[in-house]
Structure 1
Amino acid sequence: MASSMSLELACVVILCLAVGAPQSQGAITCGQVVSTLAPCIVYVRNNGAGGGVPAPCCNGIKSLNAATRSTSDRQSACNCVKAVAAGIPGVNYGLTNKLAGMCGVSAPFKISPSTDCKSVK
């Protein structure tokens, strides 16, 4: 279990480095996005098993929502989340897109492989 989590974390770090350069236009970095949403990874990979959304996950979503004040920030966060989600096997996109609402936050974009982050306002 710990080895699996270490592999997931390594994938997230590598993906952040890969998408980090394009994110530099916004004030928020991909590293910040990943660190705030990391507590949600196990939940969306396990299809919500174990009950409600973990508090650290909701706290991360709320924190990210508060930090993405500009269009550039939201587009940067969108690109980062989209890239990271694509690199994590077994992500349930339907559940991922419900998380913000389950945490009492209105998400400015949906995450899917076809999301056009340039259209995020």
Structure 2
Amino acid sequence: MASQKIATLVLVLGLLIMPFSIASYAQIPCNTVYNDLYPCLGFVMGGGKVDPACCSGFKTVLGLAKTKTDRQGVCSCLKSLVSDATDGEIKNAAQIPKLCGLNIPYVISRNIDCSK
């Protein structure tokens, strides 16, 4: 279990420094999304209380996503983040918008349909 968390952390940190992404066609690159959401990592990995910086980062990302293409790009970035996460980590990640008082048009999961 600890090795799985370490692997997930390494994956997320690697994605944070990745200059290009799955959603590189969008105006908002994934590395921007990952950097803004980095404060959420502690909650995603272990639950507890959501860091206010996490909520702030999520609000920043949502504020940047003005167009449909941007929103689809952000969705693809989130989908790529959870692709190798554990079910518990995905459950925690999916709770963040609600816990931060934010409304996003999808539930964070491995099966997000970003085309809509």
TM-score bucket (shorter structure): 0.7 to 0.9
| Gapped regions of structure 1 (runs ≥ 5) | none
Percent of aligned pairs sharing the same letter: 26
**Which segments of structure 1 move beyond 6 Å, counting only runs of 4 or more?**
4-7
- What TM-score comes out, normalization by structure 1 length? 0.76
Q: Distance in 2 between matches of 1:108 and 1:19?
A: 25
RMSD over aligned CA atoms reads: 2.7
**Contact residue 30 and residue 74 of structure 2 kept, 8 A:** yes
Measured after TM superposition, the shift of residue 19 of structure 1 is 6.8
| Gapped regions of structure 2 (runs ≥ 5) | none
CA separation of 1:26 and 1:101: change in aligned 2, threshold 3 A: same
Pick the aligned partner of 1:53 from 50, 54, 77. Answer: 50
Greater relative contact order (Cα < 8 A, sep 6+):
1
**Contact residue 20 and residue 29 of structure 2 kept, 8 A:** no
Figure out how many residues of one structure are paired with residues of the other and give that number.
112
- What TM-score comes out, normalization by structure 2 length? 0.79
2:38 paired residue number: 38
**Contact residue 8 and residue 85 of structure 2 kept, 8 A:** no
